[in-house]
Structure 1
Amino acid sequence: MSPRGCLSAYSRALKPFSRAISWKPTGRPQQTLISEVSRSGTGLHSGASTTARLLPAMAGEGRYFVSGLSRSRVPAKIDHAVDSPLCTTLCGDGARVRTVEHLLSALEACGVDNCRIEIESGDEVPLLDGSAKGWVEAIEQVGLCAAENSCGHNMDKLAPELHEPMYLRRNDSFVAAFPSSKVQITYGIDFPKVPAIGCQWFSSFLDASIYLKEIASSRTFCIYEEVERMRNAGLIQGGSAENAIVCRLVIRCILNLCEAS
């Protein structure tokens, strides 16, 4: 499917849910970074050295990427997401940015509402150690301030309010959301053939301190027996033990012995 086709599919899927969500003022100003900060590393799938520069942005601009020879602006919004294997990819105006999930997670958790993200030497966000921790540390290095619009005014931060339960399922994965006065997440994963992962559950009310302590350091993992197949498909060219957890499968063999009569 072409990127345009993928965008249309995402938009159609989101339409029924848009009626279940409204945005309400929080009484707090939108925030941005005090100054520029950058991190360099290897792209997970391209294997190329790349740099992401995080810069302050004006109130109301939101979070967006600047990438490609055209330096096109790609908003970090769900309607710019396209179908891609083993990473989140955003497209817009002929440009694309891959593997954005850890960086965007850190920006949201740390309260960075507006940010210009420039990608240099490629179209992929550097993986760092395979977690969001390095991005949290980069944000904390420069700190936050109230963002101003072009008129020098602050703008109110908006928060989503869910009015009815929502549910999405794809293959054996699903996500469900329910109306609540506080943000609480419950996450489960089950890989019975991979002892290093196994069956795990995590549940907690969510704030910046919980994110930093319990979530930000969670790293990308892969199955050792699948590495060659993925690399032959042009994926994880930059993957290594330094930026991912590599786990082996446990294969149980049952041997039935039959006596000949």
Structure 2
Amino acid sequence: RSRRTAPRRRRTRSHCRSGEMFPRRLQASVRKFGTTSSSPLSWQPTGKPQQTLASGVEKSGVGLHSGASTTVRLLPAMAGEGRYFSPGPGRPRIPATVDHVVESPLCTTLRRGAARVLTVEHLLSALEASGVDNARLEIDGGDEVPILDGSAREWVEAIEEAGLCAAKDHNGNEIAKLATLIHEPMYVWRDDSFVAAFPQRKTKITYGISFPQVPAIGCRWFSCFPMDDLVYAEEIGPSRTFCIYEEIESLRNAGLIRGGSIENAIVCSGTTGWQNPPLRFHDEPCRHKILDLIGDISLLSENGNQGLPIGHLIAYKAGHALHAKFARHLKDLMMKLEPEMQPSVLKQLSA
């Protein structure tokens, strides 16, 4: 089985600046770009085969919101199957796609019929960034993916332990991996929050957050380029989820974060600052938002193709709901592509 042995190098750049109001500034940026295609996006071969895990691996822990102890097994899957959850005997598999996202507070939830899986974003983020295109994800003990230490680091380590290999279909053949290429600017927004994408030759992600009521967090921006598995493992995956100390009581009264603790989240007060230092990065909350965005946008992946589009993704003060709205917007555009530009046809041409 294959393992990554290349040294990990620091290749990211972060900066802090004041937030800008949307949509006026973003619309001005949109007008600067010309359309380079008759379609706003297209499918493009990555030059790589679809991958899966070389062996199985499992992790156990407590669910952030349910407080239940669960175990998730990451298992190999055939090329073209994509990533999907198997929540237990007698329940249907739940494809990890945007079509199965349902609204839920403070996490991303997938549902199919009566079966559901909560808080999938950190696991899916690690799988997408690590190049695990096809995987069977079994969950026992409950319906929530364990939060572990609040980051994706343990998932990345589990994937490295299992190793990666080229996935084969039922005929023993490899399948070419495709990705969505952004040709023109597009965005979704709500109030002063937005998620946008601009043409770029490689995937780049920029995220801005603004917490004026919590000076220790404040307004920060972080940008990752290129977004690959090495950058993710060092600069994004270890960043932990965060919460505001003054909001904890109300969240628990609402039945949320029952499994939350200082062992799986970094907590910040508006008056006294960080309650459980040290941080892994000075801008850890901003980096964690990129982690969440990758997990949510990975839900664009279908049939083992890449979820993250090739382009510059920019988000500001967004959350899981807006991430999902953007993913649905891209999915709608994909469905409007001409028949000859659909993945099934391109797969044959690039094989």
TM-score by length of 2: 0.64
Distance 2:215 2:157 in 1: 30
The answer to whether 1:111 aligns with 2:131 is yes
Residue of structure 1 equivalent to 2:243: 222
Deviation digits for residues 156-190 of structure 1 (CA, Å, limit 9, x no counterpart): 01111112211011344211101111111111111
For 1:194, the equivalent position in structure 2 comes to 214
Amino acid at match of 2:189: R
CA distance, structure 2, for counterparts of residue 51 and residue 116 of structure 1: 13
1:146 counterpart (166, 176, 193): 166
1:20-69 superposed Cα distances (whole Å, 9 cap, x missing partner): 33222222110000000000000000000011100000000001101145
Amino acid at match of 2:153: K
Counterparts of residues 14-163 of structure 1 (less than 5 Å): 20-163=40-183
Partner of 2:277: none
- Runs of 4+ in structure 1 deviating by more than 6 angstroms, as ranges, are none
CA distance in 1, matches of 2:42, 2:76: 27
**Which stretch of the first structure deviates more once superposed, 113-122 or 200-209?**
200-209
Mean Cα displacement is larger for which, 188-197 or 74-83?
A: 188-197
For residue 242 of structure 1, what is the aligned residue in structure 2?
263
Task: Give, in whole Å, the separation in 2 of the partners of 1:21 and 1:74.
Answer: 27
- Deviation per CA, 1:68-123: give whole Å up to 9, x if none: 45231111111111111000001113211100000000000000000000111111
Other structure's SS at 1:72 match: coil
Contact conserved, 2:88 with 2:138, CA < 8 A, in 1? no
Residue of structure 2 equivalent to 1:170: 190
State the Cα distance separating 1:200 from its structure 2 match.
Answer: 1.5
Cα offset, 1:195, TM superposition: 2.9
C-alpha contact 1:43 1:124 (8 A) present in aligned 2: yes
CA distance in 1, matches of 2:67, 2:178: 37
Unaligned runs of 5+ in 1: 1-18, 252-261
Alignment check: 8 A CA contact 1:74 1:93 kept: no
Distance 2:131 2:113 in 1: 27
With normalisation by structure 1, the TM-score equals 0.86
Percent identical across equivalent pairs? 68
* Greater RCO (CA < 8 Å, at least 6 residues apart): 2
Residue type at the aligned position of 1:20: P
Query: Could you tell me whether the CA contact under 8 Å between 1:68 and 1:122 is conserved in 2?
Result: no
CA distance in 2, matches of 1:153, 1:69: 30
Query: Do the aligned residues in 2 keep the contact of 1:63 with 1:115 (CA within 8 Å)?
Result: yes
Tell me the residue number matched to 2:305.
none
Q: 1:73, 1:93 within 8 Å by CA — same for their partners in 2?
A: no
- Measured against aligned partners, the alpha-carbon deviations of 1:209-241 in whole angstroms (never above 9, x if no partner) come to 111111111111111111111111111000000
Query: Partner letter of residue 268 of structure 2?
Result: C
Greater share of strand: 1
Which 5+ residue runs of structure 2 have no aligned equivalent?
A: 1-38, 273-351
Q: Flag the structure with higher helix content.
A: 2
Cα RMSD of the aligned pairs, angstroms, is 1.4
What is the SS of the residue equivalent to 1:227? helix
